[in-house]
Structure 1
Amino acid sequence: MNIFILEDNFIQQTRIENIVKKILFESKIECRHFEVYGKPHQLLENISERGSHQLFLLDIEIKDDDQRGLDVAREIRKRDSQAVIAFVTTHSEFMPVSFEYLVSAIDFIDKELPEPTFIKRIENVISSVCDNQGRTVSEDSFVFTGPKAQIQVPFKDLLYIETSTIAHKLTLYSKRDIVEFYGQLSEIIEQEPRLFQCHRSFIVNPYNISLIDKENRVVHFQNGSSCIVSRLKIRSLLKVVERLHD
């Protein structure tokens, strides 16, 4: 699990941070990344993973801007459709407005709630993320866990993964977005046998291949994108795709 807090009031920031740490300690929940930010751009610049293991606790009012937190939530949702977002705020009247922003917040937690209730609401959100992580996702999601990154995207949306121009980084292409993360193609294949390495620089999702150009050794996907296939891999890939359509 990764937890990110956006709160520009130092007193409230410390309060929420201490509550979350206490919940994690008492519940023995492992948190790979736990960060607290006072400025929206700091948080947005440090989002490097995708998936339902990402929890964002956001204040709505940032630096006297009543709806800044909603803007941040919308940007998070653009980047990650599966992230879990909860608002921790004194502006619960903005709950109806959030539907216009299409951010799908899991909860609006009022800072003025009695302390035991406030703590319980945060605990419920964290527990919900943990429960979702514990469910079997192998059939429905592509999940990659490495030393520096954890990625989760719907398997049906995954098109292909290629090596990045940045050393030790990979780029994942899905029907919805593009994600860069640290990892190696060999690690991907080891963790997800449904994928196929068609080239030293490419791994493809055979389920989303719409056409294989044997003459030019190019794979075409349902969204119009494509990648190359090595001469040694073309026959094996054809057999894999044929089996899926049998």
Structure 2
Amino acid sequence: MAYQAEGENLVPQTRIFVLTNKPECQNLNNHILQIMLNLSNHIKFCHPIKLSSSSENFQNFICSLSIVILNLDEEIDLIKKISIAVKRLPNSRKYFIYIGSSRHVFENLIFNHYMLYDALMTKTFQKDDGNILAADICNILIHNSIPLNSSNTIQISVKRQKFFLRLDDILFVITDNQPHKVIFHLKYDEYQVRMTLKQVHHQCRNLTACHEGALVNLKNITKFNKSNRILYFENGDTCEVSRRYTKKISDLIPMKTF
């Protein structure tokens, strides 16, 4: 997850998405916009995604945290429509806020695993009352923010913008084909940065070399196949280990080696 400095805290890059099947939700949209202006400079708003007709793909949007507001009335095939829309959203950590008259829809989403990671249930409220919605969004931001002076971060620059990465979120860092550039692989994100691997290692001593062009976070490895020298991570990413480092890696994570 990538963070940006705001006051004394680091807050994640955040986008708000509204999935709706209601014909009119302009009042809610206006409240969301006002809420964002009051909460953070780093939250971006995407106009409502209508489940009935929209085929827009938002996966190219850059964000580390997606707040998905489900502004819904029950209808046939609603869960199927929501699952299709969710697949179009960015590959980021997702929080869901449900606005609707029936808990049946919300519970079905959880039981069918469409609610990824954390989910919040709002109380039923009038469409012109954004206080509860604001409180939920505030709680999400607070839960995902970290102190600005945290020693567990590394600062990077992407397209002249400064971001901070938590070291614990890094899976591995690998040299890019372009000279003097590396790619940070996180659980949900990838960032191409103008740095050398030596500079990364200088700031991130907890990362371990697994071949001449890569550093890996041993804490985030799920398993290591010693015979084909491949490291596996929870999100499906893999990283190669050179013969030179095979014994060292297997000795450091014996319980994950097979």
Change (3 A) 1:185 1:166: closer
- After superposition, the CA RMSD in angstroms is 5.2
Contact 2:19–2:82, Cα closer than 8 Å, also in 1? no
Q: Which has the larger share of helix?
A: 1
Residue matched to 1:45: 59
Residue matched to 1:221: 231
CA shift digits 1:58-95 (9 cap, x unpaired)? 23459974334542576489955x42111233544423
Q: How many residue pairs align between the two structures?
A: 224
CA shift digits 1:104-161 (9 cap, x unpaired)? 5212454xx3356x3112101111112112346999x9888654697979938x6434
Shift of 1:11: 3.0
Q: What is the distance in 1 between the residues matched to 2:24 and 2:100?
A: 13
Q: What is the distance in 2 between the residues matched to 1:88 and 1:200?
A: 51
What is the percent sequence identity of the aligned residues?
Answer: 11
Greater RCO structure (CA 8 Å; 6+ sep): 2
Instruction: Return 5+ residue gaps in structure 1 as ranges.
Output: none
Residue matched to 2:9: none
Shift of 1:38: 2.4
Instruction: Return 5+ residue gaps in structure 2 as ranges.
Output: 1-13
Q: Which has the larger share of strand?
A: 2
Q: 1:67 aligns to what SS in structure 2?
A: helix
Q: 1:172 aligns to what SS in structure 2?
A: strand
Report matched runs for 1:67-86 at 5 Å. Answer: 67-68=79-80, 70-72=82-84, 75=87, 79-80=91-92, 82-86=93-97
Q: What is the distance in 2 between the residues matched to 1:22 and 1:62?
A: 27
Shift of 1:220: 4.2
Shift of 1:30: 2.0
Q: TM-score, normalised by structure 1?
A: 0.60
Choose 2-11 or 124-133, whichever is displaced more: 2-11
Q: TM-score, normalised by structure 2?
A: 0.58
Residue matched to 1:96: 107
Change (3 A) 1:6 1:209: closer
Contact 1:86–1:105, Cα closer than 8 Å, also in 2? yes
